[in-house]
Amino acid sequence: MTSFAAVLIAAAAQQYFVTAGEGARDLSIEARIPAFPDRDGELSVNEGAEPFVSDVVIISADGSVPLERRGDSWFAPQCAEHGCRIRYGFALRRAAEGRDDEDLAALYGDMIVSPPGAWLLRPLRVTQDSTAELKVSAPEGVRFAAGLPPGVLSASSLGGLPYAAFGDLRVETIRLQGVSLTVAIARAHRRQSEEELLDWIRASAAMIADYFGRFPADGALLLVAPAPGKQIHGRARGTGGASILFSLGTELEIAQARGSWELVHELVHLGFPSVPRRHHWTEEGLGTYVEPIARARAGDLSAEKVWGDLLRGLPQGLPRKGDEGLDRTHTWGRTYWGGALFWLLGDIQIRERTGNRFGLEHALRALVANGGNIADRWPLRRALEVADRATGTKVLEELYAKMASAPVDVDLDALFHRLGVEEQGRSVKFDDRAPLAPIRRAITERR
Ligand SMILES: [Zn+2]
C-alpha cells in the first residue's frame, strides 16, 4: 500500500491561485502544496524577491499560523511531511519599482513585467516528476499574460519560467498553422497603431515559421512594452515556456520598426533549445545568422544586403590573441559574430556534402520538430546530434568539436571568393561562376 500512496503523492500538483489587486500593486496568493522531500520544508521565491513576500501563513482547520522565516527562506517541515495550504502576499509594484529588473519585476509604463518565479513561494527541493498549476485572476482593467504552455508545469521549472505581465494590455493570438503566438501590447501613446504593430509581428512570425518549418514555440508570449524615443530592445526568456520582452520606442514610425532587425532576431531565439551558459554563442550566433536570411527569403532584405553585412560583420567573429575557442571566449565579437560564423560554415558544409539538397534550415527544422525550442533545456551535444541526423551528416558535431575549445582561423576572403561575393564600394556584387554560387543563392533566395 505504501507504493500506492507514494504514486498518489507524486501525482498531486502544486496549485497556485493568484489574485491581483487594483492596478496589480499587490498579489494575494493561496497555494496547495503536496508533501515534498525536504525535512526542513524550505520554501522560497527567486533570489532578490524575498523582501516583497509578506504574511506567510499555513492554513489549517484551526485557523492560520504564521510561517517561520529565516534569512531568505520560510520553513514548514509539517508541510513537507503532509502537504499543506499556505497564503501570502506579494508587493508586486513595490518590487518592480525597487528592483527594476525584468528577470524579477520591472515597470514599463503602467505594465509590470515579472516572471512567476519571483512570486511563487515554493519548495526548493522537489522530485523531478512533480508538477504545478497556476491560476491568475486580475481586476477589471488589468490583464495577465504569460508565455506558459497550456496545462501543467514542471514544479522544478517554476524558477526559470518565462516573462509574464500585468497591465492594461491588448492581448491577441496569432495562429500559424496550428501553432499560436500570444501578443500582448501594453497600451500607450505611440506613433504606431496597434493594428500596424500586429501586422508587422504577424509578418515577422511568418518568416520564422517559414525558416523553421513551423513556428517554433507553441504558446509563446511576445510582450510589447513602450520605450522612450526610438529605442528598440528585445530579450528572449525560456524555460518551461517561451517569451520575448520587446521594448519599442513610441516615437518610431512603423516603417522604421519594420526595417529593424531586433524582432526577427528575438524570434529566432525561440527556435533553439536553452543550452548551458558556456554555449551562449550558439544562441546569439544563430540569431545573428538566421535573422537576415529569414528576412531575405521573405523579400524584406536584398541578398546583397545580407552578404554585404556578413562580409563586413564576420571578421569581428575571428579569434584574437589569447582566444581559447567559442566555449571559453565570451567576448561580444566571438559570441555574436563568432557564433554566426559557426552557423554559416555549418550551412555551407551541409550543402556541399548533400549536393545542396539540405541546408541549415533542415537541420533546425528537425530540432524544432523534436521539441528543441527555448522552452526546453538541452545539452548542446544532443541538439547538434538531432540537427545533424536530419541532413545525414556530422557537419555540426564536427564543427563544434573543432571550434569549441580552440581558436580556429577561417580565411574569410577565400570563403567569400568561393561564394562569389565581391565587395564593391559600400555594397557587394555577385559572381555566379564562383564554385559555391549555387549554395550562396540557395541560402538567401527569395521563397
Ligand atoms: Zn539575441
Q: Please tell me the predicted confidence (pLDDT) of residue 3.
A: 43
Which grid coordinates are listed for 51? Answer: 523582501
Residue 81 shares a structural domain with residue 57: yes
CA distances from 42 to 8, 18, 84, 428 (A): 22, 21, 13, 61
Residue 5 shares a structural domain with residue 121: yes
For residue 284, report the distance from its CA to the centre of ligand 1, in Å.
5
For residue 264, report the distance from its CA to the centre of ligand 1, in Å.
10
Express as a percent the part of the chain with pLDDT over 70: 98
For residue 335, report the distance from its CA to the centre of ligand 1, in Å.
10
Q: Please tell me the predicted confidence (pLDDT) of residue 447.
A: 85
For residue 124, report the distance from its CA to the centre of ligand 1, in Å.
30
For residue 254, report the distance from its CA to the centre of ligand 1, in Å.
22
Going by pLDDT thresholds of 50, 70 and 90, the confidence category of residue 8 is very low
Residue 376 shares a structural domain with residue 405: yes
For residue 16, report the distance from its CA to the centre of ligand 1, in Å.
32
Residue 428 shares a structural domain with residue 295: yes
For residue 267, report the distance from its CA to the centre of ligand 1, in Å.
9
Residue 20 shares a structural domain with residue 125: yes
- The H-or-E segment that residue 28 falls in is strand 27-33
How many structural domains does the chain have?
A: 3
DSSP code of residue 40:
T
Going by pLDDT thresholds of 50, 70 and 90, the confidence category of residue 5 is very low
The CATH number of the domain holding residue 146 is: 2.60.40.3650
Q: Which of 246, 270, 294 is the last residue of a domain?
A: 270
For residue 345, report the distance from its CA to the centre of ligand 1, in Å.
20
For residue 407, report the distance from its CA to the centre of ligand 1, in Å.
23
Q: Sign of dihedral through CA atoms 373, 447, 205, 308?
A: positive
Q: Please tell me the predicted confidence (pLDDT) of residue 149.
A: 81
Q: Tens digit of pLDDT for each residue in 317-374?
A: 999 999 999 999 999 999 999 999 999 999 999 999 999 999 999 999 999 999 999 9
- The H-or-E segment that residue 17 falls in is strand 14-20
Contact between 400 and 345 (Cβ < 8 Å): no
Identify the CA nearest to 49 among candidates 106, 136, 114, 119: 119
Residue 289 shares a structural domain with residue 348: yes
For residue 338, report the distance from its CA to the centre of ligand 1, in Å.
13
Determine the structural domain holding residue 4 and report its residue range. Answer: 1-162
Rounded-to-integer distance, Cα 51 and Cα 307, Å: 51
For residue 13, report the distance from its CA to the centre of ligand 1, in Å.
34
Residue 262 shares a structural domain with residue 311: no
Residue with cell 497591465: 167
- Please say if the pLDDT value at position 62 is more than 90: no
pTM given for the model: 0.94
Residue 230 shares a structural domain with residue 326: no
- Collapsing DSSP to helix, strand or coil, 45 comes out as coil
For residue 306, report the distance from its CA to the centre of ligand 1, in Å.
18
For residue 430, report the distance from its CA to the centre of ligand 1, in Å.
29
Residue 354 shares a structural domain with residue 241: no
Residue 296 shares a structural domain with residue 391: yes
- Please say if the pLDDT value at position 6 is more than 50: no
Q: Please tell me the predicted confidence (pLDDT) of residue 11.
A: 57
Rounded-to-integer distance, Cα 70 and Cα 280, Å: 35
Going by pLDDT thresholds of 50, 70 and 90, the confidence category of residue 403 is very high
What does DSSP say about strands 220-227 and 179-186: parallel, antiparallel, or unpaired?
A: parallel
Q: Which of 215, 250, 270 is the last residue of a domain?
A: 270
For residue 88, report the distance from its CA to the centre of ligand 1, in Å.
36
Q: Tens digit of pLDDT for each residue in 105-130?
A: 999 999 999 999 999 999 999 998 99
For the residues of 107-136, what is the DSSP string, one character each? Answer: EETTEEE--GGGT--EESS--TT-EEEEEE
Average pLDDT, the chain: 95
For residue 46, report the distance from its CA to the centre of ligand 1, in Å.
23
For residue 266, report the distance from its CA to the centre of ligand 1, in Å.
6
For residue 445, report the distance from its CA to the centre of ligand 1, in Å.
24
For residue 287, report the distance from its CA to the centre of ligand 1, in Å.
6
Q: Which of 106, 132, 162 is the last residue of a domain?
A: 162
The CATH number of the domain holding residue 184 is: 3.30.2010
For residue 358, report the distance from its CA to the centre of ligand 1, in Å.
25
Q: Tens digit of pLDDT for each residue in 68-92?
A: 899 999 999 999 999 999 999 999 9
Contact between 192 and 257 (Cβ < 8 Å): yes
For residue 340, report the distance from its CA to the centre of ligand 1, in Å.
11
For residue 328, report the distance from its CA to the centre of ligand 1, in Å.
19
Residue 407 shares a structural domain with residue 299: yes
Residue 146 shares a structural domain with residue 215: no
For residue 290, report the distance from its CA to the centre of ligand 1, in Å.
11
For residue 356, report the distance from its CA to the centre of ligand 1, in Å.
28
For residue 388, report the distance from its CA to the centre of ligand 1, in Å.
23
For residue 285, report the distance from its CA to the centre of ligand 1, in Å.
8
For residue 58, report the distance from its CA to the centre of ligand 1, in Å.
42
Which grid coordinates are listed for 303? Answer: 541578398
For residue 269, report the distance from its CA to the centre of ligand 1, in Å.
7
Neighbours of ion ligand 1 (CB under 5 A): 284, 287
